[in-house]
């Protein structure tokens, strides 16, 4: 495992341990509503602070882009992209599906990634050019080639309500042609599941960089494809992402395109 990933794993596990201490005590936590259906808890903030503390100790000159504390550091420095608790709404409601997500971006490319599910003790890791791992065992995207055989993941545009009609049109285009669609509430884990072959494809509208960065590298290093809705590489900027096995990714894009607004095509 790359030394950078070792440090990221240490940070992710520390955050995961903190999250687990509060799983059965959510009612004791202060929960703040950032927006409609968008929550933040004391655990999000404490987990993020623990991650940043560990990363800063080893890499004091690296920049940080984190969900709760925002951006910090030089623009030309390697940048950690952090979601301390992806799936906060699930966590608040006791729904057991959430994860810690860390990625390191350098010179415009994601180079290393960690997604950690503390409940299942599943650790997904990747470094560019070195493949993707689950608990140190290599993973690959599934061998599914037909949309009719594919299990897809998605997320509802709970922040980007203006895109709801277009999103529902893509759902109508994909759902009846697939073997099923799941909406579990953590984009980081959904993408990790695509990398591990548990899902064959995934799409969502209006995500933030910390929702996507680590999971996208996992998919790519596991042999899959990740793009924006135009088939390009601007998904971290646009927040619109399609991922899957090579053939499923292509078929999803083909069926989605007629239903996309101009804003989502860009």
Is 83 among the annotated ligand-binding positions? Answer: yes
Name the helix (H) or strand (E) containing 171.
helix 164-174
Is 68 among the annotated ligand-binding positions? Answer: no
Residue corresponding to tokens 């073997």: 179
Is 76 among the annotated ligand-binding positions? Answer: no
Spatial distance between the Cα atoms of 207 and 260, rounded to a whole number of angstroms: 16
What the block records as the tokens of 181 is 């669609």
Asked if 132 contacts 195 with a C-beta cutoff of 8 angstroms, the reply is yes
Is 211 among the annotated ligand-binding positions? Answer: yes
Task: With H, G, I as helix, E, B as strand and everything else as coil, classify residue 103.
Answer: strand
Angle between helices 246-256 and 164-174 (to 10 degrees): 120
Is 50 among the annotated ligand-binding positions? Answer: no
Greatest Cα-to-Cα distance within the chain, rounded to the nearest angstrom: 50
Spatial distance between the Cα atoms of 182 and 262, rounded to a whole number of angstroms: 26
Residue numbers in the known binding site are 67, 83, 85-86, 211
Residue numbers in the known binding site for Mg(2+) are 67, 83, 85-86, 211
């Amino acid at each position: 495992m790359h030394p950078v990933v070792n440090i990221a794993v240490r940070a992710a596990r520390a955050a995961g341990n903190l999250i687990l201490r509060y799983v059965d005590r959510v009612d004791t936590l202060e929960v703040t509503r950032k927006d409609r259906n968008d929550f933040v808890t004391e655990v999000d903030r404490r987990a993020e602070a623990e991650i940043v503390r560990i990363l800063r100790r080893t890499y004091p000159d690296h920049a940080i882009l984190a969900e709760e504390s925002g951006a910090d550091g030089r623009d030309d420095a390697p940048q950690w992209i952090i979601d301390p608790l992806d799936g906060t709404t699930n966590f608040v409601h006791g729904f057991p599906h959430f994860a810690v997500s860390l990625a390191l971006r350098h010179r415009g490319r994601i180079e290393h990634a960690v997604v950690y599910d503390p409940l299942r003790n599943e650790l997904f890791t990747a470094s560019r050019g070195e493949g993707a791992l689950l608990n140190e065992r290599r993973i690959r995207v599934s061998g599914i080639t037909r949309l009719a055989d594919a299990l897809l993941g998605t997320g509802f545009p709970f922040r980007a309500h203006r895109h709801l009609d277009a999103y529902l049109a893509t759902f109508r285009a994909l759902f009846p042609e697939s073997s099923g669609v799941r909406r579990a509430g953590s984009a980081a884990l959904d993408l990790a599941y695509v990398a591990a072959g548990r899902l064959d494809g995934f799409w969502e509208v209006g995500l933030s960089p910390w929702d996507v960065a680590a999971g996208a590298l996992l998919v790519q290093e596991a042999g899959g494809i990740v793009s924006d809705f135009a088939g390009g590489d601007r998904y971290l900027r646009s927040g619109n992402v399609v991922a899957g096995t090579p053939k499923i990714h292509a078929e999803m894009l083909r069926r989605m395109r007629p239903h996309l607004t101009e804003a989502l095509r860009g």
